[in-house]
């Protein structure tokens, strides 16, 4: 297997898996299930034979344990999973640092370069040709090609490539065409500096990594999900990357921030160089065209007009937005027109969009690339530094190759000049054999060897014999001298560039920016995004109703057995007190069951319930009546809180107020007419009660059954 080749679905291991055990002849064959994506899983069935090597622990195990059918299966699964995880990380999901490309992208671009003749190629043809290198189906290749074409930096698309703004799909591969961009030809390809490896089936050669002379992974962005890790590198502006590259070469500090093709507003205060744990808040750009009409003109990164419209419609359905009409007029630029209903609050509408829809999103970058066949997490600044250092090394390698080519050409031209000007070709007229011809030329060159820079080889002499008579007769000494002088001048220039390689690399980036960076401005506006509270942007545009007997609360119902409570927002919480001396916190919804026999309910403020309660209840267990004062404190939604000493008690009096001074001073207690008490009506002083927790028992009011309690 060639160096650098990694396992593919069609590869079979030459050696048995470590730890596998050969099944007995009498044992039936075991069918081992494989992953659903069998085309992507490098499955390697365990081999059998005397060369199987067991780990030390298994070698020491009893023979009976070694014959257990589950042992080879477990070992096989363990090895297969590790192979699969390694394959997905290295050969599918994560871009390589050297060229910033995933394998499928690299193979697509390599295929386009092989077929490049300046004209467009059918995408279906490119997909089919790429399958000679890529071990997966045409769908993954086609999707990757369309994605590169939509960005437009490396592939020049022609035809319907869909719309990245709206999320529309591209036309079928047989209808669309593509070719390499001039930028891709300039920065990605050079066969002389490319390291090659065999393709997955061994029939072709493919690049281990393209000799990219630009941080492609930062320009294009990358996203992938592997086994146990993910990568998400955000796209950056071309001119920003060029300037940062030049600053790095000059030893200056630099900072790069993402620039999204969809524009929008972004808060990079927590970007942290794109490392794991960083955050970027992105927002759509929204403009107000009239009092009741708004338009979304730029998208947050990661959203499409379709997904954005769906999220707005969802917020409308939940009553969080009051919108009369939505119209998506997006073509080359984004334009989603929103017309508000007459009950909406236009002053809060933009903030409402940011809070309740995908007009504001949070992105979590995690820059991960492959370095030395291992995934590595690092910041985008470090990725740029390493990419620029590689560009400098590649440019130096290209200069060395060019210098070698010039030296070879100078040597060949000098030999030819000596061969013709010194009339050495006449010495071979009398030679009878090929060996004699070569010897005559070698002898003729000996007096002139000092004019050359290196030894004359047999290949050099053979090339001299291939010079045609017509060329010799048309030889022009003046032109030959000019050609050699031009070679010497270029060699001097290349040597100078090699001696000043950093300056040469800086000039190369400046030329690249001048050639391809005109008119490439940042699309994303950088601004600090302030956190908006949902409570601050909601208006009380929902109507809350209650059916106290059946124990339901509902929004905007028209049923006769419900009575109106108050106007609420869609995110409000309601606390309810039931006649069994329990309370419960619930969120308002279309219809919610709280519990039968609701005594009292009210909307809880967003900063918590700050009311003061006076409660008298008839205890189920002791039969006594108790009074207490309390505040609710923190509560969990849908949890039932018992306010009495025992379950099944009865609430006979409840008073709530926002001001502690206005709490009742005394109450009139009416006892049951059937009780044995001589006084069945008396005043109970509440001023002696202290404010306690909601779970306290309270003080005794009476030991007799209470018929009613009223504020005195």
Residue 477 clears pLDDT 70, i.e. is over it: yes
Q: Where are the domains of the chain?
A: 94-209, 280-363, 540-607, 609-712
Residue 332 confidence class, pLDDT cut points 50, 70, 90? confident
Per-residue pLDDT of 653-673, as tens digits, reads 999 999 998 999 999 999 998
The larger pLDDT score, comparing residue 11 to residue 105, is at 105
Residue 212 clears pLDDT 80, i.e. is over it: yes
**Lowest-confidence region among 75-79, 90-94, 372-376, 400-404:** 75-79
Per-residue pLDDT of 151-193, as tens digits, reads 999 999 999 999 999 999 999 999 999 999 999 999 999 999 9
Residue 233 burial by CB count (10 A; 0-12/13-18/19+): exposed, middle or buried?
buried
Cα dist from 341 to 4, 294, 297, 324, whole Å: 63, 12, 21, 5
Residue 43 clears pLDDT 50, i.e. is over it: no
Residue 15 confidence class, pLDDT cut points 50, 70, 90? very low
Instruction: Return the DSSP state at 635.
Output: -
Fold match, 94-209 / 280-363: no
Residue 607 clears pLDDT 90, i.e. is over it: no
The larger pLDDT score, comparing residue 1 to residue 553, is at 553
> What's the average model confidence in pLDDT over 686-707?
92
> What local confidence, expressed as pLDDT, does residue 529 receive?
82
**b/e 284-322 (16+ beta carbons within 10 angstroms → b):** bbbeeeeeeebbbbbbbbbbbbebbbebbeebbeebbbb
> What local confidence, expressed as pLDDT, does residue 70 receive?
53
> What's the average model confidence in pLDDT over 14-29?
34
Residue 61 confidence class, pLDDT cut points 50, 70, 90? very low
Pairing of strands 640-642, 582-587: antiparallel
Residue 141 clears pLDDT 80, i.e. is over it: yes
% of the chain with per-residue pLDDT over 90: 69
> What local confidence, expressed as pLDDT, does residue 39 receive?
36
Beta strands in 548-597 (DSSP E): 552-555, 563-568, 573-578, 582-587, 591-593
Residue 535 confidence class, pLDDT cut points 50, 70, 90? low
Cα dist from 425 to 434, 438, 451, 469, whole Å: 14, 11, 18, 10
> What local confidence, expressed as pLDDT, does residue 83 receive?
80
Round to whole Å and give the CA distance between 630 and 375. Answer: 59
Pairing of strands 525-526, 542-547: unpaired
**Lowest-confidence region among 65-74, 223-232, 257-266, 331-340:** 65-74
Structure token digits, residue 278 = 């960083």
Does the domain at 94-209 match CATH 3.90.199.10? Answer given as yes
Neighbours of 23 (CB within 10 A): 15
Kindly report the backbone phi and psi dihedral angles of residue 136, in degrees, each rounded to the nearest multiple of 5, phi listed first. Answer: -115, 180
CATH number corresponding to 280-363? 3.30.1360.40
Q: Is 371 helix (H, G, I), strand (E, B) or coil?
A: strand
Name the residues annotated as catalytic: 175
Cα dist from 17 to 22, 38, 52, 702, whole Å: 11, 19, 8, 83
Per-residue pLDDT of 351-408, as tens digits, reads 999 999 999 999 999 999 999 989 999 999 999 999 999 999 999 999 999 999 999 9
> What local confidence, expressed as pLDDT, does residue 232 receive?
95
SS3 sequence of 129-166: HHCCCCCCCHHHHHHHHHHHHHHCCCEEEECCCCECCC
**Which contacts of 53-58 are long-range, i.e. CB under 8 A and separated by 24 or more positions?**
53/16, 53/18, 54/19, 54/21, 55/18, 55/19, 58/19, 58/21
Per-residue pLDDT of 24-39, as tens digits, reads 333 333 333 333 333 3
Average pLDDT, rounded, for the chain: 87
Round to whole Å and give the CA distance between 492 and 469. Answer: 33
Question: In 3-state terms, the chain is what percent helix, strand and coil (to 5)?
Answer: 35, 25, 40
> What's the average model confidence in pLDDT over 289-316?
94
Residue 45 confidence class, pLDDT cut points 50, 70, 90? very low
> What's the average model confidence in pLDDT over 265-276?
93
| H or E element, residue 569 | none
Residue 72 burial by CB count (10 A; 0-12/13-18/19+): exposed, middle or buried?
buried
């Amino acid at each position: 297997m060639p160096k650098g080749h990694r396992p593919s679905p069609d590869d079979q291991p030459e050696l048995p898996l470590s730890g596998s055990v050969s099944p007995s002849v009498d044992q039936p064959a075991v069918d081992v299930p494989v992953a659903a994506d069998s085309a992507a899983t490098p499955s390697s069935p365990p081999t059998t034979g005397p060369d199987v090597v067991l780990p030390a622990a298994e070698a020491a195990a009893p023979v009976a344990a070694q014959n257990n059918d589950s042992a080879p299966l477990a070992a096989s699964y363990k090895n297969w999973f590790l192979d699969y995880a390694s394959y997905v990380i290295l050969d599918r999901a994560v871009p390589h640092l050297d060229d910033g490309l995933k394998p499928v992208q690299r193979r697509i671009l390599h295929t386009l370069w092989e077929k490049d003749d300046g004209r467009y190629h059918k995408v279906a043809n490119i997909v089919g040709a790429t399958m000679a290198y890529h071990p997966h189906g045409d769908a993954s290749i086609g999707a990757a090609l369309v994605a590169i074409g939509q960005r437009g930096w490396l592939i020049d698309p022609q035809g319907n490539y869909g719309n990245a703004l709206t999320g529309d799909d591209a036309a079928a591969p047989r209808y669309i065409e593509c070719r390499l961009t001039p930028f891709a030809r300039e920065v990605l390809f050079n066969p002389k500096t490319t390291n090659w490896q065999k393709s997955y089936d061994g029939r072709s050669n493919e690049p281990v990594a393209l000799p990219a002379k630009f941080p492609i992974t930062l320009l294009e962005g990358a996203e992938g999900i592997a086994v146990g890790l993910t990568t998400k590198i955000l796209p950056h502006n071309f001119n920003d990357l060029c300037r940062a590259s030049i600053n790095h070469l000059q030893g200056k500090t630099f900072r790069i921030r993402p620039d999204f093709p969809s524009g929008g507003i972004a808060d990079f205060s927590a970007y942290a160089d794109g490392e794991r744990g960083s955050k970027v808040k992105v927002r759509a750009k929204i403009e107000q065209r009239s009092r009741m009409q708004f338009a979304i003109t730029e998208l947050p990164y990661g959203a499409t007009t379709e997904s954005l419209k769906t999220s707005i419609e969802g917020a409308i359905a939940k009553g969080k937005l009051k919108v009369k009409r939505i119209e998506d007029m997006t073509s080359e630029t984004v334009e989603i027109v929103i017309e508000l209903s007459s009950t909406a609050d236009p002053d809060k509408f933009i903030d409402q969009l940011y809070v309740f829809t995908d007009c504001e999103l949070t992105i979590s970058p995690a820059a991960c690339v492959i370095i030395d066949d291992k995934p590595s997490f690092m910041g985008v600044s470090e990725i740029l530094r390493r990419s620029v250092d590689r560009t400098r090394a590649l440019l130096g390698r290209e200069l060395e190759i060019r210098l070698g080519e010039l030296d070879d050409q100078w040597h060949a031209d000098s030999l030819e000049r000596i061969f013709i000007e010194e009339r050495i070709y006449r010495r071979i007229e009398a030679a009878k054999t090929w060996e004699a011809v070569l010897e005559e030329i070698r002898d003729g060159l000996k007096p002139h060897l000092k004019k050359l820079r290196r030894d004359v080889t047999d290949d050099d002499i053979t090339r001299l014999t291939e010079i045609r008579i017509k060329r010799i007769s048309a030889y022009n000494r003046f032109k030959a001298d000019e050609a050699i002088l031009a070679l010497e001048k270029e060699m001097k220039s290349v040597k100078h560039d090699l001696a000043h390689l950093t300056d040469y690399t800086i000039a190369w980036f400046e030329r690249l920016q001048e050639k391809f960076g005109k008119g490439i401005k940042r699309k994303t506006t950088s601004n600090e995004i302030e956190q908006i509270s949902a409570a601050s942007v909601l208006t009380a545009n929902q109507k809350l109703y209650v059916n106290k007997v059946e124990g339901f609360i509902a929004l905007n119902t028209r049923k006769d057995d419900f009575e109106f409570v108050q106007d609420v927002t869609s995110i409000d919480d309601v606390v309810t007190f039931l006649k069994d001396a329990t309370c419960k916190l619930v969120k308002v919804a279309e219809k919610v069951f709280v519990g039968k026999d609701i005594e009292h309910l009210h909307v809880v403020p967003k900063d918590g319930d700050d009311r003061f309660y006076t409660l008298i209840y008839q205890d189920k267990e002791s039969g006594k009546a108790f009074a207490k004062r309390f505040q609710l404190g923190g509560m969990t939604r849908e949890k039932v809180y018992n306010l009495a000493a025992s379950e099944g008690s009865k609430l006979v009096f409840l008073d709530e107020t926002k001001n502690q001074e206005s709490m009742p001073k005394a109450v009139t207690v009416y006892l049951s007419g059937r009780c044995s008490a001589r006084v069945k009506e008396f005043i109970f002083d509440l001023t002696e009660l202290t404010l306690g927790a909601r779970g306290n028992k309270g003080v005794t009011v009476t030991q007799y059954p209470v018929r009613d309690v009223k504020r005195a």
